[in-house]
Structure 1
Amino acid sequence: MDPLHEIAPHIWQLPFPVGHVYVVALPDDGYALVDTGMPGSAPAVLDALARLGGRPRDLRQIVLTHCHLDHAGSAADLVAATGARVLAGALDAPYIRGTAPEPPPVLTPAERPLYEGNMAEFAAARIPPAPPVRVDTELHDGDTLPDWPGPVHVLHVPGHTPGGIALHLPESRLLFPGDIIGAAPDGRQAVLGPFNVDRETALASFRRLAALEDVDTVCVPHGGPIRGDARAVLGAAAPEGDWL
């Protein structure tokens, strides 16, 4: 049974080896997900929902921070099982729907062996491509999400992908950054996420997120959550030197 970690009231992390999933309890007794994990992750996600007292039909929203396999990989299976609505950044929506090919990352020398190793592992494990899935709501910078416990501000944070988004919950002082920010396993060091389509744009997005004032917890998809002293951890980061 996969562990389920409470990050904040109404918010839990379901960790995976690649690409964590976050579960959010909604005020109407429903649930939302932030990302869905790799293809094949749907049974573990539904099991986690059941442990929280939810049924498949209680999953109301799936928010995809971006289009990549380890984030959108189980969205189609979860939509089929639950009927949840899918929300994603407008510029990534065509990739998630399968109507346009994803742009490839522009790899630095340090990133290339890591990326090629990951792709080889996925091929050896016979992990399929992410199935296309509908996007019900295209999100833009400045949008808000309905029905969450407190305000949720959508931030367009391009660079990792063209249409990546972050979610900022100022009342909860919590941030879902997508892959713009990664962290060490203990959450004490923040780094720029690798494998970006535009490194300079990704760095600008990192700086934008690091400058947010109402953030104590950063729910990264890779690494350990940054908790308690998130602003200090982000302030100490040096993303310009990461992955070179």
Structure 2
Amino acid sequence: MDSITLTEITPDIWQLPFPVGHVYVVALPDDGYAVVDTGIPGSAPAILDALARLGAAPGDLRQIVLTHSHLDHMGSAADLADATGARILAGVHDAPVIRGTTPEPPPVYTLAERVLHEGILADFADAGLPPLRHVAVDVELHDGDTLDDWAEPVRVLHVPGHTPGGIALYLPESGLLFPGDIIGCGGGRAVLGPFNVDREVAIASFRRLAALDGLDTVCVPHGEPIRTGARAVLAAATPEKDWL
């Protein structure tokens, strides 16, 4: 297994960039770690390797926070939980999909999105993607909840539209945001994430995140993180016109 480069975002947060669906590793004050999302099925060994390079044993992973229920975000959650004993946290409205008790609601594609999605699925088929394993959700998160066991308080924001129960995590003291797939980035430009169950609701969620006070850094799951000046980058975005 080839190691994936760990990119430092802050002294306590690292990006683990995968070809599809980045994972972010977060150091916790109790010498443990959290991860935000888990990549596609089969990504757990690379995540555990990254933790080892940070000096962590598997049991040091305390939390797996899933921003939503799609394959490239929850895909390795079950394997990671089995290997580490970490608790899984997810939005209350996506939790039934993650558990496998409710079917995944299908996106409503634009033409451009359909072409893109067909290409991604073909790549997955060529790569022999392992089957998705559903997993129990230990903590269901609601809009306005706070994660108090990180180095600074984390606000949980319900950002529906991409999925019914997507969440974002905002660290106001640092001005750092994990937006889930509501926001993507390419070429220094922020865009609406594609493959939404409700495009208009997703655009409203994008606008809510863009208006956060003090926003400076956005750790997107697809594309390059916005490392500084995120408020201005998002203000210049035109999500209403993306993917048409």
Normalised by the length of structure 1, the TM-score is: 0.98
The residue type equivalent to 2:240 in the other structure is E
Which residue identity lines up with residue 225 of structure 1 in the other structure?
P
**Structure 1 residue aligned with 2:141, among 139, 142, 145?**
139
What count of residue pairs does the alignment treat as equivalent? 242
Separation in 1 of the partners of 2:141 and 2:147?
9
Quote how far apart the aligned CAs of 1:125 are.
1.9
* Residue of 176, 179, 194 corresponding to 2:178: 176
- Bigger Cα displacement from structure 2, 160-169 vs 144-153: 144-153
Cα RMSD between the aligned structures? 0.8
- Within 2, Cα distance between the matches of 1:102 and 1:238? 28
Alignment of 1:118-129 (within 5 A): 118-129=120-131
Q: Which runs of 5+ in 2 are unaligned?
A: none
Identity of aligned residues (%): 76
Structure 1, residues 140-188: CA drift from partner, whole Å, max 9, x if none?
A: 000011310001000000000000000000011100000000001x5x1
Where do 5+ consecutive residues of structure 1 fail to align? none
Paired with 2:223 and 2:124, the residues of 1 have a C-alpha distance of 19
Matched with 1:101 is: 103
Q: CA deviation at 1:122?
A: 1.3
Q: Runs (4+) of structure 1 moved beyond 6 Å?
A: none
State the alpha-carbon separation in 1 of the partners of residues 131 and 168 from structure 2: 24
Q: Is the 1:141–1:155 Cα contact (8 Å) retained in structure 2? A: yes
Shift of 1:128: 3.2
User: Who is 1:149 aligned against?
Assistant: 151
* Contact 2:28/2:34, CA 8 A, preserved across alignment: yes
Q: State the Cα distance separating 1:124 from its structure 2 match.
A: 2.2
Q: How does 1:148-227 map to 2 (within 5 A)?
A: 148-184=150-186, 186=187, 188-227=188-227
Tell me if the contact between 1:69 and 1:129 (Cα under 8 Å) persists in the aligned partners: no
Letter in 1 for 2:31: D
Which one-letter code corresponds to 2:73 in the other structure?
H
Equivalent residue number for residue 16 of structure 1: 18
The CA deviation at 1:9 is 2.1
Conservation of the 8 A alpha-carbon contact between 1:218 and 1:225: yes
Q: Secondary structure at the match of 2:146?
A: coil
2:42–2:130 contact (8 Å) kept in structure 1: no
Deviation at 1:234, TM superposition (A): 0.4
